[in-house]
Amino acid sequence: ANLVAIVGRPNVGKSTLFNRLTQSRRAIVSDTAGTTRDRQYGKCSWNGREFSVVDTGGWVVKSDDIFEDAIRQQVRVATDEADLILFLVDNETGITDWDEDVAKILRRTKLPVILVANKVDNSGESYSAAEFYGLGLGDPQCISAATGGGTGDLLDLILTKLKDIPEESLEEDIPRFAVVGRPNAGKSSIINAFIGEDRNIVTEIAGTTRDSIYTRYTKFGFDFYLVDTAGIRRKNKVTEDLEFYSVMRSIRAIENSDVCILMIDATRGIEAQDMNIFQLIQKNNKSLVVVVNKWDLVQDKSQKAIDTFKNAIYNRMAPFTDFPIIFASAITKQRIFKVLETAKQVYLNRKMHIGTTKLNSVMLPIIEATPPQSVKGKFIKIKYCSQLPNTQIPSFVFYANLPQYIKEQYRRFLENKIRENWSLHGCPINVFIRQK
Ligand code: GDP
């Protein structure tokens, strides 16, 4: 999928526009940054096409006293990783020095850039927006992110500027693994351990690495694609430590994979950055294997220490906790084979199809023993269930007489029972309840 990045000063309305494009009701528009991690990345569909949107401001921890230099770096990262930039300016404030600086960076990029003047709430105000032409990025698109005015035209324009990314012809039944994680978690090291050679041999000629993101490996009897992006290969010293950078460069790899191998640094435990990447994995419905790497550096390897570590991870990632955690070392190669083996198993789980007869013979007795609560004296009955064919992730439908009265808690109970009876370890699943 294509990736669109929104850049601009604090308070120009980036998150309002982001919400409008992604229609995310859960995202919070207020400036208390850090309250939700949801507002940074989302999907937008328009006229039958879909693309991903990133709000670069979503990574700014305190938007009031933001270091302007940090935002400029984020703009650079965005131009490295995205397919199109929306440069948002504020029509109430007019052009600022900072806007000039960013425009300078954006004029040099080869990416398409759309200059967007926000807070144009009526046609009279669009006259003043003409001054933004002076930024050298063409005529501004006038919008009001708050009311939605002009955003339809903006979306049309975005689609005309996004290139169709051709589908690569891949063998369908070979798993695609993405190795993701924060900087220094050991991603490059474990990939080297998998493929047994120094991967930094990839040529750095601009534009050549972006094209193919899949590399096929046959190692230790496993056949898999490693999903990569130009961003992962290109190490940019200045920006490498930015959290934003690690997330930006994960997006494409995650979107194009079946199974994500999420690397966690055993010496640091789970932090906000790991959670960000975990949420990208979830939002894209990808399967998951967590690797606690650098296990060689940990002194206490007792079962108790292992259990504590596992519980800490499961607690952070709840309610999704049905995934494997492997304690490994990319350097000593301890359990490297196990990581691949588990990733493959998780991939097979993802492709599982449970026959309707089998599913009902297990689930109906469970439902009979613990039926949904009756509401207002109305009897709620689930008649049967089945797994939908050809879905991205295993999806189950339970047919009920009064689906609207079945509570989320009961839906989750059904999900857990499916998980107890079949191995869907590492895989997100859908459980729908529909009218019989
Ligand atoms: P990346 O940024 O996620 O690709 O991380 P790297 O693979 O570049 O690793 C970061 C640093 O951690 C390097 O100095 C590695 O040698 C070190 N490292 C990676 N994995 C391990 C491990 O399992 N054990 C130890 N002791 N060091 C590791």
Counting residues of the chain whose pLDDT is more than 70, the rounded percentage is 85
Index of the ligand 1 atom closest to the CA of residue 191:
7
Q: Is the pLDDT of residue 164 over 90?
A: no
Q: Is the pLDDT of residue 261 over 90?
A: yes
Q: What is the pLDDT of residue 377?
A: 86
Name 285's Cβ contacts closer than 8 Å, sequence gap at least 6.
Answer: 392, 393, 428
Q: Is the pLDDT of residue 143 over 80?
A: yes
Q: What is the pLDDT of residue 216?
A: 83
297 lines ligand 1 (CB under 6 A): yes
Distance 297 CA to ligand 1 centre (A): 11
Q: How is the beta sheet containing 395-400 ordered, strand by strand?
A: 382-387, 395-400, 430-435
CB count in 10 Å sphere of residue 103 = 21
CB burial string 19-35: b at 16+ within 10 A, e below: bbbbebeebeeeeebee
Q: What is the pLDDT of residue 376?
A: 85
Structure tokens at 260: 């994500």
CA 269, CA 267: separation in Å to the nearest integer? 6
Index of the ligand 1 atom closest to the CA of residue 334:
23
Q: What is the pLDDT of residue 123?
A: 72
Q: Please measure the distance between the N-terminal and C-terminal CA atoms of the chain and give it in whole angstroms.
A: 36
Distance 40 CA to ligand 1 centre (A): 27
Distance 194 CA to ligand 1 centre (A): 14
Mutate to test the pocket of ligand 1, among 179, 180, 189, 261 (most ligand atoms within 8 A of CB): 189
273 lines ligand 1 (CB under 6 A): no
Q: What is the pLDDT of residue 129?
A: 86
186 lines ligand 1 (CB under 6 A): yes
Query: For the purposes of burial, counting CB atoms within 10 Å of the CB of 384, is it exposed (0-12), middle (13-18) or buried (19 or more)?
Result: middle
Distance 335 CA to ligand 1 centre (A): 15
User: Can you tell me whether residue 193 is helix, strand or coil?
Assistant: helix
Index of the ligand 1 atom closest to the CA of residue 185:
3
Name 436's Cβ contacts closer than 8 Å, sequence gap at least 6.
Answer: 383, 399, 400, 401
CB count in 10 Å sphere of residue 368 = 10
Torsion angle of C-alpha atoms 66, 263, 28, 43, degrees rounded to 10: 110
Q: Is the pLDDT of residue 37 over 60?
A: no
Distance 184 CA to ligand 1 centre (A): 6
pLDDT tens digits, one per residue of 291-339: 999 999 999 999 999 999 999 999 999 989 999 999 999 999 999 999 9
Q: What is the pTM of this model?
A: 0.84
Q: Is the pLDDT of residue 205 over 70?
A: no
Peptide bond before 175: cis, by omega within 30 degrees of 0?
no
pLDDT tens digits, one per residue of 240-259: 556 677 778 788 889 989 99
Peptide bond before 365: cis, by omega within 30 degrees of 0?
no
Look up tokens 């959670």; give the residue. Answer: 275
116 compared with 205, residue with greater pLDDT: 116
Mutate to test the pocket of ligand 1, among 184, 335, 339 (most ligand atoms within 8 A of CB): 184
